[in-house]
A and B are shown apart, each in its own frame.
Chain A
């Protein structure tokens, strides 16, 4: 991971000629599809507590967070105070903090400083996943391309959810709702195939996550917290057992 060995590299030989921004727009399409289904449901929830399309649209464009926005809607519905809003937001969205820490290490030292104010807006589970899957340094244009397409889908879905309510057929919502998970698999499985340790990590993570959702007491923990606890524990243990060697990764 030195400067010389960590140049921005291609990820997919099939798209070698495409500029990073265009590649971002392309990879944003499946994210956009998945977001549309989720945010449509979000819009229906927002409408339920009396938010209008403009408010819900602003919320989605400004926050770009699924669990975070569901929490935000509940906070508004319960007329929460500022302190409760801020603390709940921090807890529900804490995983983005970890993701930003991780992605900050993929930026070239020569990258202009303003990107450190633009990139944070783009940190969602999916865009983070794809941005970290790039080999070597991250070219921010790739992240911005994905963000434009996916936030468009996210915001449109929320607004339409408020305006159209329940008219989207269940089969369409069902089919679209697994799109995001399919993408996650496409990010973590190919490296796991090449690297036994990462394969083990993925299996352990999924098993632990499955146990957390069925075991008594543990299953009461919210999804946001579960992600934080398991990430700290498993990635922490992995870093002790199998430290990443210098200069080897790129």
Chain B
């Protein structure tokens, strides 16, 4: 593998990804007043994160059952406790413990 090609490719792709993330910050310098756009952007995080979580969490481990268990424990922990670190660690511990059983 030609290392000049690799470094050049990395530079091109890193800059591209940076620009994708940076342009909106330059374009939307003022608060948007349009209610539809504001509402849409307000809902974006909930939809995006929900879509990315399910069903990916179920197939993230090498065992569907431990993934499902992590989903259920994560939902309960988030509903009743809500603390970020606690929920994340609960999910990890669930996968570890169910891994001992299955």
Contact = CB atoms under 8 A, between A and B. Distances in A.
A76 B8 CA distance: 10
A19 interface: no
A209 interface: yes
Interface residues of B, number: 78
Interface of A: 1, 12, 14, 26-27, 29-30, 33-34, 49-52, 55, 58-59, 62-63, 65, 68, 72, 75-76, 79-80, 82, 85-86, 89-90, 93-105, 107, 109, 116-117, 119-121, 123, 125, 128-130, 132-133, 170-171, 174-193, 198, 201-202, 205-206, 208-210, 213, 223, 226-227, 230-231, 234-236, 238-240, 242-244, 246, 249
A198 B41 CA distance: 13
A230 to B, nearest CB: 5
B30 to A, nearest CB: 7
Interface string B22-63: 111111111110011111111111111111111111001111
A181 B53 contact: yes
Given A51-B6, A75-B9, A75-B13, A102 B1 contact: no
Nearest to A174: B61
A105 B41 CA distance: 8
B75 A189 contact: yes
A102 B10 contact: no
